[in-house]
Amino acid sequence: MLDCGLDMTSTLNFLPLPLVQSPRLSNLPGWSLKDGNAFLDKELKECSGHVFVDSVPEFCLPETELIDLSTVDVILISNYHCMMALPYITEHTGFTGTVYATEPTVQIGRLLMEELVNFIERVPKAQSASLWKNKDIQRLLPSPLKDAVEVSTWRRCYTMQEVNSALSKIQLVGYSQKIELFGAVQVTPLSSGYALGSSNWIIQSHYEKVSYVSGSSLLTTHPQPMDQASLKNSDVLVLTGLTQIPTANPDGMVGEFCSNLALTVRNGGNVLVPCYPSGVIYDLLECLYQYIDSAGLSNIPFYFISPVANSSLEFSQIFAEWLCHNKQTKVYLPEPPFPHAELIQTNKLKHYPSLHGDFSSDFRQPCVVFTGHPSLRFGDVVHFMELWGKSSLNTVIFTEPDFSYLEALAPYQPLAMKCIYCPIDTRLNFIQVSKLLKEVQPLHVVCPEQYTQPPPAQSHRMDLMIDCQPPAMSYRRAEVLALPFKRRYEKIEIMPELADSLVPMEIKPGISLATVSAVLHTKDNKHVLQPPPRPTQPTGGKKRKRASDDIPDCKVLKPLLSGSIPVEQFVQALEKHGFSDVKVEDTAKGHIVLLQEAETLIQIEEDSTHIICDNDEMLRVRLRDLVLKFLQKF
Amino acid sequence: MGRGVTGLAPACLRASQLELFSPGAPGWPFGDFHALPGRRLCGRPLQIRQVARPGAGPEAAEGRGAGLSSLIMDPECSQLLPALCSVLADPRQPVTDDTCLEKLLDWFKTITEAGSSLLLLQENPCLLGLLCHVLKPQDLSPRVLAFSLRLAGMLAAQEDCFQYLQQGELLPRLFGEAGPLGGAAWTAPSVRSGWIQGLRSLAHHPSALCFLADCGAVDTIFSLQGDSSLFVASAAGQLLVHVLGLSLQGPAEGHPGLQTGDWPVCAQKIVSHIEESLRSAATPQITQALNVLTTTFGHCHNPWTQVLWVRLSPLVARLLEKDPVPAAHSLVDLLLSVARSPVLSSSSCGLWETLAQTLSHLSPTQAGPLALGILKLQECPQALRAQAFAVLLQPLTCVLEATAQAPGLLDSWDGTGGASVTVDTLLASKAACVGLLCRTLAHLELLQPLPQRPSPWPQAPLLGATVTILRLCSGSATPTSDAGGHLCAFLVGCVRVQRAALDFLGTLSRGTGPRELVTQVFAVLLEYLTSPDSSPTVLKKAFQATFRWLQSSPETPGCSDLDPHAQLFLRELLPVLPKRLCSPCWEVRDSGLEFLTQMIGRWGGQAGFRRALLASEVPELTEQLLRDPESYVRASAVAAMGQLSSQGLRVTPASPEHPGGQQKSLLAELLHILSTDSEGFPRRAVMHVFTQWLRDGHADVAADTERFVARVLQVASQDLDWEVRAQGLELALVFLEQTLGRPSSHCPYAVTPPVAAPPGPLAQALRPLCRVQLFEFAFRALFDCDRPVAQKSCDLLLFLRAQTASYSGPQGSGSVPEVASVEAALQRWQAGDQGQPLGYLEPEVVVAVLRSMDLEGLRGALAESSDRVEKSPQSLLQDMLATVGALGEDEADCY
């Protein structure tokens, strides 16, 4: 199984979970059907024309109908964003396999899960809504609730115990490490350049190679650069995880982010940046480190609030081997690879596990706050939205591309604060994909259907789709696709003692043949040719054979034949041996020599010769010997 | 001036000298140079002539007769030259510096242009020795061999010297097959280049032509046209043109009807070679022939060029029958060169037909430069101009059609029917599409301001097409056809096309357009100024185009303010500007500030603009950028703040960092920058602002001008950047003008005739200058180690002295000792000891010191280049000898 991401957009249908009681949210009116029926008013609340579920947010799990996840042997994880559904799979499906991921992926994935669990668990909500999920009722609801798919499979967040259990099933791997999977294939993670420890995977047998490219970046950010060279010569390249906002250039967005931040703060406003605790935030802090002095923002405090803020900032500094070259060099100086260490040291950046405690006493405005969750449905961000939403001096800047910012803001309407959308998605865009595919030249590309056509809203943008030759094979949800290659060869090892016994004969310059008589031993998809057992010696004693010696007896070896039969000469030979009524017919595959009198057929084809005669063994043997005269034996 | 033979004494003198050093004579220094007295060279008897050089005149000839050699080469150089020739001839002492040899050749060129080369050779036999020596088989460096070839050619440019060298068969041995031509040294491109340049210098007289023919040089030049070294190949082509011109100078001149069959052999040979090349199937050969013809018709406008064109034009036209047209770029160059030639364009030799044919045969990319060239011609048939303009417009027509817009007037220009070819080119690949559009836009940009541009100029469709291209580039256009979709895919995010389109859009601001199109222009400009994806260079171009369009907006009648539409645009633009001023990219901040400065300079006094600007955060942000970490941005911020302050647009907000704090005056802030900024650009900007403020009577300056000037001059005098000090002198001059009155002449430094001025008021007028210590600043600058500063100061003091010429104050009355001490101090300053200040000077003392100084002499000395000593030929020779340790005094250094 390739990745197991969690669709968290389902949470946008729920009301935010405030850290402290919010009169505004508590007093939202219940929603009733057009006919005035108000039986759902406890579950559904209305806010500025949008309807939300008033319950603990729930998540949309990976597809479970199509495949029995207990039969999955291995899960390969590309990056920490693509493992958020892992506890649901490992703990609730009977999964007994192994999960492979790099160390930073696991560590930062753990932080993301921990933060998620913490955000949800610290504001327990007694109410659990389920009535609205009834299919008959759901039909009556307004969009987007009406159009939500598989709502019955939506689940509450997992627990920390489940997280720990799930993570314990992960086996850590390093870049370029070759991992044998049951002898059938070898998998290798490669740097994908997107995030700390993010990987693309090579899945290869001896004669076939499939590349799985997911969440990759060619931009120069903090992670190790993408390893493109190893993706070459792939039979199939499965491509996914491209940028979600192909029209937004990350550089331009960072510029926009900085400018808007500076303008807000200069006017005395606060800036709220809903974000994940790892990833783009490192790059943003680095940009700000260079920018704040030039923008005269040296005295403005930057706050990073997350239950895992401290761990995230510290982890980033210790994964030196997973960082880009420049940052790796710093480690040897020795200096911290990321400049946020200096921001912390100089008190320009302060981090807190939550709003409670030290933060309350240190809090100074105007300021910039980085906090989660980007969906604006849970986490400390909910509090800041409630706190700052009423003033037009303040700004919320969206940098994470995973959620529609308009939908995220819907339960906060009416909102006075400014909203800026600067999605920073460093993953491959279509131009970069084109270049990558030209460089890597896979025989076939397989990708989601969405990548093979322009976005519906911009149907004229032919540049926003994959353009490659041959055209990419696309797949859609729940579609089963046969990859366009067949396994035709297997590699077989030969034991040294058997190899020693071979006597090659050169049949052409540079080509030698040898007959091999051996036993093919197959175990764990490994094939080994072993020396044949010695002919059974007459047992002198009465000892019984042991079970392990019970290898089938070897028959007397017949010589191997090679060569082709020249038909004309063969006919002459037949005539010489007394067959007078020989007829030759050409067929698509060879010839048929017909001995009319003897009612016998000799079928001569490229790779076979059949003598078909009617119960005349003598004749058959004669003819066979004649045939054999034209062939080489060894 | 024509060539002539001078006789009389000088010629006699040289003849006797020649006899003295004639080959075989006792004075002849080299035994292997055999004299062949009375030998006829190329059928001409050996004559010793004095050939006057162009521009030399009879006086010059006389001068030479009275010992010119000593004038053109001083004895010191003559003494050093033999040693240098020995060094050059010695393979064990390689000359590693090419520039020395180049300088040496420059020097010889000066000498030979001013006087007789023959005399030079005779007075410096070592030169001839060197030329003979390089012919010996030895391991001589290619540099020296190339130098010798060039020197020989230079000397042989004068016919008498040529004949002299011919006597010993030196020239055939240098330039013929026996010379380096067949040897190993020929593999060095520098030797081949030297050979060509030598011949290029040599070929200046009819004898040279015979020589070229005799030694088979022309064939070698033909082969060198395809040389692997581009420099050699290009020089060979130019030499061919030169030889052709030289050979036709005599006979064909003035006889346009003359057939090429009657031309000299050499010319015929070259023409045949060109014909052969034009018939060739190999593109490089065709290119060579076309390039030779292009240079010929470009440089020579004699009647024989018409004969040549008549003969060759059918071959050129035949190139158009091939598909693809070979050497298209060279063909375009040739045709344009012919069309520009006054001799050829006026004749009826089918040129216009060929041009029309070429336009329709070439691909859109190749035809563009030809179309532009045709449209730039002063005289050209109207039909051809229309065809050319249609070719230029074709890509834009395709863009409009691909986006389902009516091409408007553009299609009325389209008479070529080449639309499908253009569409094919545009849609062939991204590179082809981008290249064609960029070239088209650049060509139209060049064409737009020309008086001979096509009329009517399709301003509106061009605006429409440019706006569409910009929208395709930003992804905001919605093409409806497949072609439009492909164009969009090619152009989205293409910075090259964006830059070209914005440049052209700016140029189009010179014309008018329908209101709705102008609205679209402003909309697309705003889109670019707002878009986070605009690259810094694109943004800069967008700012420039915006300013030009705002400038061209009609002003509101009566109040010279921006028109309502432009004001509306400005209201949308001003909120964008703060974001740009806060950009993390310094180039963007800088462009924003430059744009702002331009805007304030143009509309700072107008109410609508002032209101909009003051309502925005721009003034406050600009002030914060005075402390930007990037020096360019600080400099731009200084300029912008200077403008804001001059226009009374500086606001005094309470910043978050200094809430309620007392705001520092801008004057103090700028003085702080001038005193402390570590980079030169902001300091220079401050000086410019201060000078402008002083000139305009800025309120902060007018409050206490003397104090202001004194403070600025004091800081500027200590600045390490000479441009700051020079700008200080500019400021001093403005103050001086304001104090003493503006000079009557246009040139501020012109020495005006003394104006009668009463002594009393002048002394009084000088007193403020003394109080601000302007003289101390100017005197210090006079001895500045940077020449421009010293020159400027000298001019200023000369101006001042002229102003005070009429001053007849109490000279010498008790002030003599003070004058002497000032003069002594100035002498110390000149010697480099500028520690001691002059202190306050009385006007009388200043006047006396000014009068006693040789300012004119100083100005003369400053006008000479500072390396005049080092640049002397003697210094060059000494340097070259010193490099190889040939000078006795440097021998010890070898150890």
pLDDT at B66: 33
CA–CA gap between residue A576 and residue A582 (Å, rounded): 11
Band (B51; pLDDT cuts 50, 70, 90): very low
Residue B394 CA to chain centroid, in angstroms?
Answer: 34
**Exposed, middle or buried: residue B370 (CB in 10 Å: 0-12, 13-18, 19+)?**
buried
**What digits encode the pLDDT tens for the residues B421-444?**
777 878 888 899 999 999 999 999
**What digits encode the pLDDT tens for the residues B702-712?**
999 999 999 99
Q: In the predicted model, what is the mean pLDDT of residues B239-257?
A: 74
Residues of B in contact with A254 (CB under 8 A): 584
Band (B69; pLDDT cuts 50, 70, 90): very low
Core vs surface per residue A209-240: b (16+ CB within 10 A) or e: bbbbbbbbbbbebbbbebbbebbeebbbbbbb
Q: Is residue B773 predicted with pLDDT exceeding 80?
A: yes
- Torsions phi, psi for A397 (to 5 deg): -115, 120
Q: Are B160 and B116 in contact (CB under 8 A)?
A: yes
Look at B580 and A259 and tell me if their CB atoms are within 8 Å.
Answer: yes
Q: Is residue A90 predicted with pLDDT exceeding 50?
A: yes
Residue A120 CA to chain centroid, in angstroms?
Answer: 27
CA–CA gap between residue A555 and residue A537 (Å, rounded): 14
**What digits encode the pLDDT tens for the residues B123-168?**
899 999 999 888 887 778 889 999 999 999 999 999 999 999 988 7
CA–CA gap between residue B158 and residue B156 (Å, rounded): 5
Q: In the predicted model, what is the mean pLDDT of residues B219-239?
A: 94
Best to test chain A binding among B582, B618, B620 (most A CBs inside 10 Å): B582
| Cβ neighbours for B499, distance < 8 A, ≥ 6 positions apart | B537, B538, B541
Closest partner CB to B532 (pick from A252, A268, A431): A252
**What digits encode the pLDDT tens for the residues A399-413?**
999 999 999 999 999
CA–CA gap between residue A574 and residue B339 (Å, rounded): 89
Q: In the predicted model, what is the mean pLDDT of residues A218-233?
A: 93
Tokens found for residue B102: 């180049």
| Distance separating the N- and C-terminal Cα atoms of chain B | 56
**Distance to chain B for A178, nearest Cα, Å:** 40
3-state SS assignment for residue A209: strand
**What digits encode the pLDDT tens for the residues A258-278?**
999 999 998 899 999 999 999
Q: In the predicted model, what is the mean pLDDT of residues A378-393?
A: 95
Q: In the predicted model, what is the mean pLDDT of residues B668-672?
A: 94
Give the helix/strand (H/E) hosting A20: none
Q: Is residue A633 predicted with pLDDT exceeding 50?
A: yes
pLDDT at B21: 34
CA–CA gap between residue B499 and residue A158 (Å, rounded): 53
Tokens found for residue B148: 């010798």
Using a CB–CB cutoff of 8 Å, tell me whether B272 touches chain A: no
pLDDT at A581: 85
Residue A180 β-bridge partners: A186
Look at B588 and A255 and tell me if their CB atoms are within 8 Å.
Answer: yes
pLDDT at B126: 92
Please state, rounded to an integer, the average pLDDT across all residues of chain A. Answer: 90
Give how far Cα B708 sits from Cα of A116, B670, B729, B739, B827, Å: 64, 12, 14, 14, 29
**Exposed, middle or buried: residue A265 (CB in 10 Å: 0-12, 13-18, 19+)?**
buried
Q: What is the 3-state secondary structure (H, E, C) of B383-437?
A: HHHHHHHHHHHHHHHHHHHHCCCCCCHHHHHCCCCCHHHHHHHHHHCHHHHHHHH
Best to test chain B binding among A392, A463, A466 (most B CBs inside 10 Å): A463
Nearest alpha carbon to residue B179 among B226, B145, B153, B130: B145
Q: Is residue B73 predicted with pLDDT exceeding 60?
A: yes
Closest partner CB to A294 (pick from B484, B578, B628): B628
Q: What are the start-end ranges of the H helices in B647-758?
A: 666-676, 680-696, 699-702, 705-717, 722-740
**What digits encode the pLDDT tens for the residues B311-339?**
899 999 999 998 889 999 999 999 999 99
Q: Is residue B7 predicted with pLDDT exceeding 60?
A: no
Q: Are B408 and B464 in contact (CB under 8 A)?
A: yes
Q: Is residue B751 predicted with pLDDT exceeding 60?
A: no
Return the percentage of chain A with pLDDT > 90, whole number. Answer: 62
Band (B681; pLDDT cuts 50, 70, 90): very high
Q: Which residue of A has its CA nearest to B623?
A: A296
Q: Are A13 and A53 in contact (CB under 8 A)?
A: yes
**What digits encode the pLDDT tens for the residues A417-434?**
999 999 999 999 999 999
Look at B492 and A287 and tell me if their CB atoms are within 8 Å.
Answer: no
Look at B488 and A463 and tell me if their CB atoms are within 8 Å.
Answer: yes
Handedness of CA B510, B511, B513, B515 (dihedral sign): positive
Using a CB–CB cutoff of 8 Å, tell me whether B429 touches chain A: no
Please give the ipTM for the structure prediction: 0.76
Give the helix/strand (H/E) hosting A561: strand A561-562
Band (B256; pLDDT cuts 50, 70, 90): very low
pLDDT at A331: 86
Best to test chain B binding among A258, A300, A462 (most B CBs inside 10 Å): A462
Look at A460 and B488 and tell me if their CB atoms are within 8 Å.
Answer: yes
Best to test chain B binding among A458, A459, A460, A468 (most B CBs inside 10 Å): A460
pLDDT at A37: 80
**Distance to chain B for A299, nearest Cα, Å:** 7
Closest partner CB to A263 (pick from B488, B579, B628): B579
Percent helix, percent strand, percent coil in chain A, to nearest 5: 30, 20, 50
Look at A462 and B486 and tell me if their CB atoms are within 8 Å.
Answer: yes
pLDDT at B305: 87
Using a CB–CB cutoff of 8 Å, tell me whether B481 touches chain A: no
User: CB atoms < 10 A from the CB of B112, how many?
Assistant: 24
pLDDT at B407: 59
Least confident of B58-67, B454-463, B757-766, B788-797: B58-67
Q: Is residue B24 predicted with pLDDT exceeding 60?
A: no
Q: Is residue B36 predicted with pLDDT exceeding 70?
A: no
Q: Are B41 and B166 in contact (CB under 8 A)?
A: yes
Residue whose pair of structure tokens reads 């140079």 in the numeric block? B33
**Distance to chain A for B535, nearest Cα, Å:** 8
Look at B582 and A259 and tell me if their CB atoms are within 8 Å.
Answer: yes
Look at A265 and B656 and tell me if their CB atoms are within 8 Å.
Answer: yes
Closest partner CB to B582 (pick from A247, A262, A431): A262
Q: Is residue B71 predicted with pLDDT exceeding 50?
A: no
Tally the C-alpha atoms within 13 A of residue B71's C-alpha that lie toward its C-beta.
13
Q: In the predicted model, what is the mean pLDDT of residues B810-823?
A: 64
**What digits encode the pLDDT tens for the residues A468-509?**
889 999 999 888 999 888 888 889 999 999 999 888 888 788
Q: Are A457 and A483 in contact (CB under 8 A)?
A: no
Q: Is residue A448 predicted with pLDDT exceeding 80?
A: yes
**What digits encode the pLDDT tens for the residues B362-394?**
988 999 999 999 999 988 899 999 999 999 999
pLDDT at B255: 53
Using a CB–CB cutoff of 8 Å, tell me whether B576 touches chain A: no
**Distance to chain A for B504, nearest Cα, Å:** 25
Q: Are B491 and A463 in contact (CB under 8 A)?
A: no
CA–CA gap between residue B773 and residue B606 (Å, rounded): 39
**Distance to chain A for B485, nearest Cα, Å:** 5
Band (A562; pLDDT cuts 50, 70, 90): confident
CA–CA gap between residue B502 and residue B546 (Å, rounded): 9
**Distance to chain B for A348, nearest Cα, Å:** 15
Closest partner CB to B584 (pick from A287, A300, A461): A287
Closest partner CB to B657 (pick from A287, A299, A458): A299
Are β-strands B50-51 and B555-556 bridged in parallel, bridged antiparallel, or unpaired?
Answer: unpaired
3-state SS assignment for residue A46: strand
Percent helix, percent strand, percent coil in chain B, to nearest 5: 70, 0, 30
Band (B750; pLDDT cuts 50, 70, 90): very low
Please state, rounded to an integer, the average pLDDT across all residues of chain B. Answer: 81
Residues of A in contact with B479 (CB under 8 A): 460
| Distance separating the N- and C-terminal Cα atoms of chain A | 49
Least confident of A40-54, B129-143, B721-735: B129-143
Q: Which residue of B has its CA nearest to A269?
A: B656
